[in-house]
Amino acid sequence: MEMETGEVWLELKKNFLATDAYGNYYINHPAAAFVHFGHWFGMGRPSPAWVEQLIALIGQETPALRAELCQRLRHFLPDFLAQDFYYDSPETNLRPPDEVSADVFAGYWTLLSYANEYENLVPPEPHWRDLLTRQIRRSRLYRLNLRYQKLEEADFSLLHTEQADFSFADLSRAVFIKSVIKNSNFHNAELNEANLYGAVWENAYLSFVNFQKARLSDCQLKGSIMHGANLKQAEAVGVDFRRCQADFANFVEADLSLSRFEQSNLSQSDFGQANLTKADLREARLDGASFKEANLYQANLQGVMAEETRWEAKNFQKADFRNTKLSKKIKQTLQNAGARVE
């Protein structure tokens, strides 16, 4: 039976912040600490509504209390990882061990991460970082919070989560192959050289994300906000960018062949030297965008909005500009370059 959110929060503060007459914490041993998390979460993970209530309660506390509680909880992380977050009791023994571990970790990490402000909680040792990544991947946390965390080269393949917060995280060279991360926040995250092959990140907040040299092929980013994102030299073949807000983005030297940009806002974005072979940009907004030295072979640009767009591509062969409002001069230039304008 799920405990009341307020009851768990009060018990947590009472047990983990209490000190003796000399200022020493009563709970210092990992085993004594873990009993509480096993008791709270060992028989099942909190519901989404419970998590939302907990986040609200944490937010009402003073920064000083949150910081103290964060330091208390993070102190036990390596020991908890070493025992795989498994809580052994007569009741939990009736459940699959992996489920018990995943649920206890979910409760612990939610408490720890939302008490945290800007600190990196990931242990520096690769062994502990890999164990933490494994727990995150298998636990499928609701409202996963990895804000400001340093997880370079972490393996998040097949991760499933939603409404997660990866903002300001360092995910350089991380692996997200075929992950499903919907409605999540990656604002200002470092994802340079990351591998997102086949990932589904629809409706994500990707403003100012650094995707330089990232592998995004077959990724689904439909409906995402990508204002100011950097995709320079990214491998993005067959990506679904439909209805994205990708204004002021950097696509320089990116391979965007076969990608879909229908109805996306690409205003002021730079496609210099990008490969847009057979890309679909129908009804996209391209005002002020630059295509200097880009390859637009067989690209579909029907009905695009293109005020002050800089059409200086190196290859317009078989590009389709029908139903697009262009000046007679630009139409003639495009037609002479092998594009279809009528």
Q: Mind listing the domains of the chain with CATH numbers?
A: 1-142 (no CATH), 151-342 (2.160.20.80)
Nearest to 207 by CA among 188, 194, 231, 222: 188
Per-residue exposure over 292-325, b if at least 16 CB sit within 10 Å of its own CB, e if not: eebbbbbbbbbbbebeebebebebbeebbbeebe
pLDDT greater than 90 at residue 3: no
> Which is more confident, 3 or 232?
232
Give just the sign of the alpha carbon dihedral 47, 52, 119, 161. positive
Enclosing H/E stretch for 163:
none
pTM of the model: 0.93
Model pLDDT for residues 186-225, shown as the tens digit of each residue:
999 999 999 999 999 999 999 999 999 999 999 999 999 9
In angstroms, the CA 244 to CA 262 distance is 9
In angstroms, the CA 337 to CA 333 distance is 6
Average pLDDT on 279-299 reads 98
User: Are the CB atoms for 184 and 166 separated by under 8 Å?
Assistant: yes
Q: What is the pLDDT of residue 48?
A: 93
In angstroms, the CA 39 to CA 11 distance is 11
Backbone angles phi, psi at 182, to 5 degrees: -105, 150
Q: What is the pLDDT of residue 93?
A: 87
In angstroms, the CA 113 to CA 115 distance is 5
Query: Vertex 305, ends 300 and 311: CA angle to 5°?
Result: 70
Average pLDDT on 297-314 reads 95
**Band of the pLDDT at 139, cuts 50, 70, 90?**
very high
pLDDT greater than 90 at residue 244: yes
Average pLDDT on 159-169 reads 97
**Band of the pLDDT at 166, cuts 50, 70, 90?**
very high
Average pLDDT, the chain: 96
Model pLDDT for residues 39-77, shown as the tens digit of each residue:
999 998 889 999 999 999 999 999 999 999 999 999 999
User: Are the CB atoms for 139 and 157 separated by under 8 Å?
Assistant: no
